[in-house]
Structure 1
Amino acid sequence: MLQMELHSKLKRTNVPPDKVTIPVLVIACNRPTASRPIDKLLQLKSEMLKQNNFEFPIFVSHACDDHATEKVLRSYQDSITVIKPKAPLINPVQSSSLKVFEGYRHVSHHYKWALDQIFMAHNYSTVIIVEDDLDLAPDFLSYFVGAYNLLTQDNTLFCASAFNDNGRLQLIDITRPELLYRK
């Protein structure tokens, strides 16, 4: 595992002079509590605007007919952009042995549809993906600012993840929060 210094990247040393826009895509279905990560994103987005030249438009992909979640999403009005497919993303499975995987099929088709919207319909080249049940750390967006700088400078990197199962004490140096681990 390689260690990379993230600290200097967070100090804007390599941030381009123009505004950088990185959309945040929230994948939502049937959790009205999707408001929790959305509220946190709005707070962090506001704080980041004061500190640097990055913008984070929030897109919420809602691919379920869950009225409670839809009501919550509508309450944000113009603070977020809700995208919703016009038709079901998958056809029902005919085989009873495959019905057990129908939820996974729906999720994977939802991700593909939502990413197509971000990359093709809205013409972005970068995205941060958040699921509707995540708790976000106070440094969530600043972490991805640093990761963005690394991704644009090193073509051997494909993506950056904030997935925290690798954050176990035995896997990290707790005295060096500026380190970013590369696998």
Structure 2
Amino acid sequence: MAKRRSTFPVVRWLLIACALSFVLVQIRMLMIGTECSDRVKVLMEAQRKWANEARSLRKNLTDVTRETMGWRRSWRRPRRRTSTPGKEDTQRKQQQQQQQQQHVVATSTDPLDKQGGGEGQTGAGVTRGGGIRGGKMLGGGVVQAARAGRMRGGGDAKDAVAAVVIMACNRVDYLDRTIQSVLLHHKGLDTKVSPLHFPGRHECRSQGEGQAGPTVHLPAAHRGSTPRMNNPGENIAYYRIAEHYKFALTELFDRRQFPRVIILEDDMELAPDFFDYFEATSNLLDVDESILAVSSWNDNGQKQFVHDSELLYRSDFFPGLGWMLKRELWAELKPKWARAYWDDWLRLPEQRKGRQTIRPEVCRTYNFGEHGSSMGQYFSQYLAPIRLNALPVNWAQKDLSYLLDVSYPAYMVSQLRTARLIPLAAVNTEW
């Protein structure tokens, strides 16, 4: 009996200790909960502040981009005179006006190689236009031929939006059709230039009807030794093409110091807004380092798949076929330029480096070259049905800031959220 009584105080003290521990634990949990709640409030406030700053930064960036695009559209600003122009200044101004009224289209190709020959594009033709203003490329002056076949150009290439080069070889009819398309939509060029000179045994019939004009000589990449191919039996034309691309880009970027070059091929027709499109997107190319190039081509641009002439995309795939690059990219690519298959080479991760290409939904070029280096592979199935844009878009009035790297992900998310759901069974009938 005494032993049982002696255990009661021990049990009582244990219960009291447990109760106190429980109370202390509850108090501690309450304190932790309060502290966590305060931290959550701080984090939420910081998140709201960050979101406001992000929206403000995006708005400022958009405003700056618009201002930049507006400034770039002016291209050249008139120089301010600090004094009354004298006689020499007046004469100089008259000479400049006379030069600006003379626009030259000049092309060059190399003669056929006795061994390589063929139908492929192995030469480079240059259509030189100077700057763009108000949606039209303006000639930067007369390109004159110096002795020994070397060229010097009038005007300042640095003020130009882009040079235009036409890669060509021996498809005279194709080249003639391409040049006519350039002259039709490139309003700054003189359509009376005649004839276009070829330093080889190919002649171009692209000239004004009965009109006389200057003959312009441009340097041609004459073929030297036969390129060494990686595998026997390969088509040597692809090696010639890569060589001539390098020659043309070196001439225009390194020697003539153009800021950008638009590359065409001798089997392309242009859309009416081709040059306006490149004028507008050149601003994106300048301000966004994540953009590799700008292309006028959509590989999936067949008539049944496209409809919106104003829609542009960022693409991980480099389309080529009428595209523009800037001098900084050429400085990066030139030391390691491909020996052949330059377009596939440019699509490799080592060259692309995560950068993307701007391309339209509806093509601004149409490739009509059924015969050439590629032997007309899949022409009727994939190239012939391509839709060439026929309704000009006023690109100068379009806000293209949604294509910038900082804006495009949010833009695509919004497009996906508002997209119309099409049942799989209805896909074929929809198109």
2:291 is the alignment partner of 1:145: no
Per the TM alignment, residue 177 of structure 1 is displaced from its structure 2 partner at its CA by 2.2
- SS of the equivalent of 2:72 reads coil
Per the TM alignment, residue 147 of structure 1 is displaced from its structure 2 partner at its CA by 1.5
Equivalent residues of 2:179, 2:206 under 8 A apart: no
Gaps of 5+ in 1: 1-8, 50-59
- Larger relative CO (CA 8 A, sep 6+): 1 or 2? 1
2:176 is the alignment partner of 1:40: no
2:265 is the alignment partner of 1:131: yes
Equivalent residues of 2:163, 2:262 under 8 A apart: yes
Per the TM alignment, residue 82 of structure 1 is displaced from its structure 2 partner at its CA by 3.9
The C-alpha deviation readout for 1:117-156, integer Å capped at 9, x for no partner, is 1111111120000000111111111111121121122121
- SS of the equivalent of 1:151 reads helix
2:238 is the alignment partner of 1:181: no
* Distance in 2 separating the partners of 1:121 and 1:154: 25
Per the TM alignment, residue 94 of structure 1 is displaced from its structure 2 partner at its CA by 6.9
Per the TM alignment, residue 162 of structure 1 is displaced from its structure 2 partner at its CA by 1.0
What RMSD over aligned residues (CA atoms) do the two structures have, in Å? Answer: 3.5
* Distance in 1 separating the partners of 2:215 and 2:184: 11
Per the TM alignment, residue 109 of structure 1 is displaced from its structure 2 partner at its CA by 0.4
Distance 1:43 1:163, change over 3 A: same
Distance 1:43 1:179, change over 3 A: same
2:160 is the alignment partner of 1:24: no
Q: Structure 2 length as normaliser, TM-score? A: 0.31
Identical aligned residues as a percent: 29
Partner of residue 15, structure 1? 72
- SS of the equivalent of 1:143 reads helix
Partner of residue 220, structure 2? 84
- SS of the equivalent of 2:268 reads coil
* Distance in 2 separating the partners of 1:170 and 1:146: 27
Distance 1:116 1:150, change over 3 A: same
Per the TM alignment, residue 73 of structure 1 is displaced from its structure 2 partner at its CA by 6.5
- SS of the equivalent of 1:160 reads strand
Distance 1:29 1:42, change over 3 A: same
* Distance in 1 separating the partners of 2:293 and 2:164: 14
Gaps of 5+ in 2: 1-65, 77-130, 132-159, 190-195, 316-431
Letter in 2 for 1:42: L
The number of aligned residues is 155
Equivalent residues of 1:14, 1:149 under 8 A apart: no
Per the TM alignment, residue 79 of structure 1 is displaced from its structure 2 partner at its CA by 8.6
Equivalent residues of 2:252, 2:258 under 8 A apart: yes
Letter in 2 for 1:180: L
The C-alpha deviation readout for 1:21-80, integer Å capped at 9, x for no partner, is 21110011001120111122122221x68xxxxxxxxxx9x7x84x23x34468895497
Partner of residue 250, structure 2? 116
Letter in 2 for 1:13: G
Q: How does 1:165-180 map onto structure 2 within 5 Å?
A: 165-168=299-302, 172=306, 174=307, 176-180=308-312
Greater than 6 Å deviation, 4+ residue runs? 73-76
Per the TM alignment, residue 112 of structure 1 is displaced from its structure 2 partner at its CA by 0.7
Equivalent residues of 1:73, 1:82 under 8 A apart: no
